[in-house]
A and B are shown apart, each in its own frame.
Chain A
Amino acid sequence: MPVGATCIVRQGKAVAMAAVTRLPMDDFRRRIAQEVAGRRSLMAFFGVPELGGVVRLLAVLGNRDRGELELLSSEARDAYPALTPECPQAGSFEREIAEQYGLEPQGHPWLKPVRFQRPEPGAPSVHGADGAQPQPSLPGVQEFFTVAGPGVHEVAVGPIHAGIIEPGHFRFQCDGEKVLHLEIALGYQHRGVERALVGGPSKRTIHQMETLAGDTTIGHATAYCLALEALAGCEAPPRAQSLRAVALELERLAGHTGALGALAQDIGFLPTASFCGRLRGDFLNLTATLCGSRFGRGMLRPGGVGFDLSAALVVDCLQRLDTLRHDVSGAVRLLFETSAVRGRFENIGTLPYDTCMQLGLVGPTARASGLAIDARRDFPSGAWRVLEVPVATCAEGDVYARAQLRWQEMQTSLDLIRRLLEELPAGSLRAEIGSLGPEAVAVSVVEGWRGEVCHVASTDAAGAFARYKVVDPSFRNWAGLSMAMRQQQISDFPLCNKSFDLSYCGHDL
């Protein structure tokens, strides 16, 4: 392929690995920096090991105006000049590449482990070569950025937190009550998912996809099914596509309801906390009506869906949704109409538009800061190709905006589910899925409730996974929480954290 030629993929279509643009490192870096400066999104950036210690770096650039995904690559060995100084969106991706393949991004401003995983077999470790890291390295056991001066102190929280949540470590540098800097150390949840996927798919794969981030079962399972179907050259039947979309919106409703309830809880506004606690469960119960599992386990299967809705069940679901809309409106209205709540939500944890852009944040967090991005509209697949999704945004970027935005998205989801169920196409539930095409690559993007879920799957000569890359929205958004905490009261951390509502295992994989 000539230098400068572009390799465009769309959702649902695979391309030959050989067709992926190969550029010299300098051109590769320049292209990415230019495109991202021109408002393209770096959807994924990762290593694919090749023979002889060479690592192929593969980048996926998203062009939201045209719904196109561009693949480009370059080769590196041992080290390469880091992209991050010019393109901060690459920051976590380059740390991950360094950790997985021992490839050093030279000049990276923050080259720390991202999830404390062991390097891939045969790859050297870029961390601890100098003995600074204990072997095997432990999350949280690292040099943290520190601030010195009178009145400056350090607060360490986690990995085990006060509530029933996943583990992670937060290290605050504070001047009195004011947070100067927050560093987040994750990796406690690392289960080795990507490594295990190589050579697949196996009979376990779909179950690992469903539990990548257990509250985003539908989001990740949809992305997986889309990637697999693209590689196999098939497509789920229309009825299955609509049912997948219904399940995705139910997952969003449950997630957002839970987040609003938890926000209310964190400021001690108990009525909404208690109402939303119950209502979230009722949305989960709707998913269970669909497929028997409150988290949507078993709903998606490569080629289609595992469960159908009878006409009677459609009517039942629509009725229950009407009741839920009524109840959830009451609970949420109470939250936003209470001046004490507004006082606690407004101007807390403000994340400016520019920061979101630079860091490549996604989902409700980005939209609450004014970025009109939504994979359902920008990279439509399945039922989203024919459904118009209004993308709500807020300008303020504070806790209030992130809460308000969730409520707006819930109303959209309720409307979308109604439309999807009323116009449910007839037909089969599952297409036959054949073997995967050899030496091909497919990209899928799904708007999960936390933001864009991006999967990139490539196959070897036998049609087995050579590499399977998962980018959970939380992988992008944890950096946003750090930035939002600057100059805030440390006592506002739980509130800020809840307003982002991120996944630990989705990040740690």
Chain B
Amino acid sequence: MLRILVERLRQGRRTLAFPPTSSPLPERFRGRPVLEAAKCVDGCRACADACPTQAIILGGVGAGLDERLALDLGRCLFCTDCVDACPTGAIAYSAEYRVAASQRDDLVLRGTSQKLAQAMHTRLRRVLGRSLRLRQVSAGGCNACESEVNVLNTVVFDLGRFGIEFVASPRHADGLLITGPVTENMRLALEKAYDAVPEPRLVIAVGACAISGGPYAGHPEVHDGVAGIPVDLYVPGCPPHPLSILDGLLRLLGKIEATA
């Protein structure tokens, strides 16, 4: 017993303040991309051609500055293929971990700003705002998104302090947090889990796979992510950083106010 206490003291307090007071992210962290369409050379398609998931939308010659270059965070793997391919440095990664959005369209990035996730409406907030229970379902996820969700339960992120908890049964849950491209082999189980969650219920899609199919988009074995049910929160990334997921959850609950 004494040994446990001594070790506990030695390991120290490890919980991060949230929102973090100083950045816990490494220098090379790839957060929300910054697009500078003004740097684009007319007719250049290098970034779009290099992108493995067709995340880059080019407006073509004559398009306005805002239309010239856009990036769909829902498809983005946050890899370096476009950055490496661009001859003029029009795409760069920032250290911005806040990337969650309420609408699928809000994940399409133009320039530097992004409309971040909004709080759920007041009536729902009255029911779920102070105590949110979620059931996680992995439907073809590679265990990276799952791990980053799981990490929220560690002492570092201490999810419980925000009134959020992951539960075993969908019947005890207020919503589903879905990862993976939704494989055909998991479709039925996911549908059953969704039906078992009492209303009102939330759906949260975490990771490129759950939003768009990620690197598996277009495979006949998968359904390119969550489809056919309304999604309340999208957290892009491959996988998203735990801070991105936490930030999204707290925005959804209205515990963080929107700043772009």
Give chain A's interface residues, CB within 8 Å of chain B. Answer: 115-118, 136, 138-139, 159-160, 162-167, 187-193, 195-196, 202-204, 206-208, 211-215, 217, 258, 271, 274-275, 277-278, 281, 285, 288-295, 297-298, 306-307, 327, 330-331, 334, 337, 503-505, 508
How far does the alpha carbon of A115 sit from the alpha carbon of B11 in the complex, in Å?
43
Give the residues in chain B near A204, CB-CB below 8 Å. 52-53, 215
Given contacts A217-B144, A297-B79, contact A191 B238 (CB under 8 A): no
Cα distance A162–B168 when bound, in Å?
Answer: 4
- A167 partner, pick from B78, B139, B144, B145, beta carbons under 8 A: B139
Q: Is the CB of B185 within 8 A of A138?
A: yes
Residue pairs across A and B with Cβ atoms less than 8 A apart, 17 shown, are A162-B168, A164-B136, A188-B139, A192-B222, A203-B51, A207-B53, A215-B143, A271-B4, A274-B154, A277-B156, A281-B156, A288-B29, A292-B93, A294-B148, A294-B241, A306-B80, A337-B3
Cα distance A164–B144 in the bound complex, in angstroms: 11
Which single member of A139, A202, A214, A298 contacts B144 (CB below 8 Å)?
A: A214
Complex contact A298–B80 (CB within 8 A): yes
Q: Which residues of B contact A337 (CB under 8 A)?
A: 3
A167 — which chain B residues lie within 8 A by C-beta? 137-139, 186, 189
Cα A505 to Cα B222 in complex, Å, equals 13
Q: Which residue of B lies closest to A117 (CB)?
A: B221
- Counting CB contacts under 8 A, is B258 at the interface? no
Can you name the residue of chain A whose Cβ is closest to the Cβ of B93?
A292
Provide the bound-state CA to CA distance between A105 and B50, in Å. 43
Complex CA distance for A281 and B186, rounded to whole angstroms: 29
Select one of A208, A214, A285, A330 contacting B239, CB under 8 A: A214
Check A293–B216 contact: CB distance below 8 A. no
B258 to chain A: closest CB distance in Å? 27
The number of residue pairs between A and B whose CB atoms lie closer than 8 Å in the complex comes to: 181
Q: Is B166 an interface residue, CB under 8 A from the partner?
A: yes
Contacts A271-B7, A292-B28, A337-B3 given; indicate if A207 touches B144 (C-beta within 8 A).
no
Contact of A211 among B166, B238, B241 (CB under 8 A): B238
Range of interface residues on chain B?
Answer: 35 or more
User: Which residues of A lie under 8 Å from residue B168 when comparing CB positions?
Assistant: 162-163
Please state if A207 and B77 are interface contacts (CB–CB under 8 Å). Answer: yes
Known A160-B193, A167-B138; contact A191-B154, beta-carbon cutoff 8 A: no
**Which of B3, B51, B138 lies in contact with A166, CB distance below 8 A?**
B138
**Contact A188–B154 (Cβ < 8 Å):** no
Contacts of B7 in A (CB 8 A): 271, 275, 330-331, 334
Residue of B nearest to A137 (CB): B185
Which of chain A's residues have a CB closer than 8 A to the CB of B238?
207, 211, 297
Specify which chain A residues have a CB less than 8 angstroms from the CB of B10 in the assembled complex: 327, 330
Contact for A189 among B25, B153, B183, B239, CB less than 8 A: B183
Is A203's CB under 8 angstroms from B52's CB?
yes
CA distance A285 to B14 in the complex (A): 14
Task: List, in ascending order, chain B residues with CB within 8 A of A217's CB.
Answer: 144
Q: Are B28 and A307 in contact (CB under 8 A)?
A: yes
The 8 A-B pairs with the shortest beta carbon distances in the complex, nearest first, are: A214-B142, A214-B144, A292-B28, A192-B221, A277-B154, A162-B168, A207-B215, A211-B142
Chain B residues, Cβ within 8 Å of A189: 138, 140-141, 180, 183, 185-186
Contacts A192-B216, A214-B142, A289-B26 hold; do A281 and B11 have CB atoms under 8 A apart?
A: no
* Given A193-B216, A288-B29, 8 other A-B residues pairs in contact with their CB atoms under 8 A: A138-B188, A166-B141, A189-B185, A204-B53, A215-B147, A288-B28, A294-B239, A331-B11
Chain A neighbourhood of B219, CB < 8 A: 191-192, 196
B150 cross-chain contacts in A, Cβ below 8 A: 163-164
Contacts of A203 in B (CB 8 A): 50-52, 81
Chain B residue contacts of A505, Cβ below 8 A: 140-143
Q: How far is the CA of A115 from the CA of B221 in the complex (A)?
A: 12
Q: Please determine whether A285 and B26 come into contact, CB atoms closer than 8 angstroms.
A: yes
C-alpha spacing A474/B146, complex, angstroms? 18
Q: Interface digits, B127-143 against A, CB 8 Å rule (1 contact, 0 not)? A: 00000000011111111
CB-based contact B154/A278 at 8 Å: yes
Contacts of A160 in B (CB 8 A): 137, 189, 193
User: Is B90 an interface position by the 8 A CB rule?
Assistant: no
Q: Which one of B50, B138, B153 lies within 8 Å of A165 (CB-CB)?
A: B138
Nearest-neighbor residue (CB-CB) of A286 within chain B:
B26
CA distance A274 to B29 in the complex (A): 25
Question: Nearest chain-A residue to B215 (Cβ)?
Answer: A207
Decide: B52 and A327 in contact? CB cutoff 8 A: no
State A372–B156 Cα separation when bound (angstroms).
37
Smallest CB separation, A298 vs chain B (Å)? 6
- Bound complex: CA A293 to CA B14 (Å): 21
Q: Closest A-chain residue to B14, C-beta based?
A: A278
Contact at B3–A297, with CB atoms within 8 Å?
no
**In the assembled complex, B30 has its CB within 8 A of some CB on chain A:** yes
Q: Which A residues are in CB contact (< 8 Å) with B80?
A: 298, 306
B38 in the interface (beta carbon within 8 A): no
Q: Cβ of B227 < 8 Å from any Cβ of A?
A: no
Report B198-228 residues with CB < 8 Å from chain A CB: 209, 214-216, 219-222
- A285–B78 Cα distance when bound, in Å, is 17
Q: Which of B30, B153, B184, B209 lies at the interface centre, i.e. has the most chain A CB atoms within 10 A of its CB?
A: B184
Bound-state Cα–Cα, A193 to B216, Å = 8
Bound-complex Cα distance A337 to B239 (A): 36
A165 — which chain B residues lie within 8 A by C-beta?
A: 138, 143, 146
Digit string of B1-38 for contact with A (CB within 8 Å is 1, else 0)?
A: 00110011011001000000000011111100000000
Q: Smallest CB–CB gap between B141 and chain A, Å?
A: 7
A294 CB contacts on chain B under 8 angstroms? 148, 239, 241
Contact of A207 among B29, B52, B143 (CB under 8 A): B52
Pair B11/A190 contact, Cβ less than 8 Å: no
* A392→B203 CA distance, assembly (Å): 46
Q: How many Å lie between the Cα of A135 and that of B143 in the bound state?
A: 29
CA A294 – CA B68 in complex, angstroms? Answer: 32
A176 and B86 alpha carbons, distance in the complex (Å): 65
Query: By the criterion CB–CB under 8 Å, are A278 and B156 in contact?
Result: yes
Tell whether, in the assembled complex, residue A330 and residue B180 are in contact, meaning their CB atoms are under 8 Å apart: no
